[in-house]
Amino acid sequence: MRSKGIAILLGLTIGVTAGYLASTTFMRGKMMPGTIINGADFSMVPRTELNQRLSDMERDSYAITVRDIHGNESVISGSDIDLKADFAVSDIRVQNPFIYPYYMLNPGNYFIVPESVSYDEEKLQSIIDSTILPAAGSTVKPSDAFLTAYVPGAGYTIAEEVDGDTPDSATVSQLIKDAIYDRSVFLDLASNDCYLKASIRSDNDSLNKEASTLNDALQASITYDFGNQKITLNSDTYFPWLITAEDGTVSLDEKMVNDYVTGLKAATDTAYTSRGFTTVSGRSINVKGPYGYNISKKKEAEQLTEDILSGQKVEREPVYTTTGHSRSGQEYGDNYIEVDMTNQTVYFIQDGQVIFTSDCVTGNTSLGRGTPTGIFSIMYKAKNVVLRGANYASPVTYWMPFYNGCGFHDASWRGSFGGTIYRYSGSHGCVNMPIPKAKELYSLVEAGLPVIIYY
pLDDT in tens, 338-394: 999 999 999 999 999 999 999 999 999 999 999 999 999 999 999 999 999 888 899
Average pLDDT over residues 42-49: 83
Per the model's pLDDT, the better-predicted residue between 150 and 127 turns out to be 127
* Residue 419 Cα distances to 338, 342, 368, angstroms: 17, 9, 18
pLDDT of residue 100: 59
Average pLDDT over residues 217-244: 92
- Hey, how many other C-beta atoms are within 10 angstroms of the C-beta on 113? 12
Spatial separation of the C-alpha atoms in residues 292 and 295, rounded to whole Å: 10
Per the model's pLDDT, the better-predicted residue between 25 and 132 turns out to be 132
Average pLDDT over residues 415-429: 96
Q: How confident is the model at residue 105 (pLDDT cuts 50, 70, 90)?
A: low
**pLDDT digit string, tens, across residues 394-411:** 999 999 999 999 999 999
Average pLDDT over residues 80-94: 83
For 9, counting Cβ atoms within 10 Å of its Cβ (0-12 exposed, 13-18 middle, 19+ buried), the class is: exposed
The whole-chain average pLDDT of the chain stands at 89
Q: Report pTM.
A: 0.56
pLDDT of residue 346: 98
Q: Is 134:109 a contact under the CB 8 Å cutoff? A: no
Q: Which residue spans of the chain are classified as CATH 2.40.440.10?
A: 336-454
Kindly give, in sequence order, each residue whose CB lies less than 8 Å from that of residue 393, ignoring residues fewer than 6 positions away.
386, 387
Interior/surface letters 331-355, b for 16+ CB within 10 angstroms, e for the rest = bbeebbbbbbbeebbbbbbeeeeee
Average pLDDT over residues 106-130: 88
pLDDT of residue 365: 96
Per the model's pLDDT, the better-predicted residue between 9 and 362 turns out to be 362
Average pLDDT over residues 264-276: 95
Q: Which residue spans of the chain are classified as CATH 3.10.20.800?
A: 217-275+286-322
Percent of the chain with pLDDT over 90: 67
pLDDT of residue 247: 74
Spatial separation of the C-alpha atoms in residues 268 and 265, rounded to whole Å: 5
- Hey, how many other C-beta atoms are within 10 angstroms of the C-beta on 402? 29
Return the closest-CA partner of residue 219 out of 244, 240, 236: 236
Q: In this structure, which topology does domain 217-275+286-322 adopt according to CATH?
A: Ubiquitin-like (UB roll) (3.10.20)
Is pLDDT at 16 greater than 60 in this prediction? no
Average pLDDT over residues 270-295: 96
Per the model's pLDDT, the better-predicted residue between 370 and 108 turns out to be 370
Is pLDDT at 176 greater than 80 in this prediction? yes
Please list the residues that pair with 189 across neighbouring strands.
none
Q: In this structure, which topology does domain 336-454 adopt according to CATH?
A: L,D-transpeptidase catalytic domain-like (2.40.440)
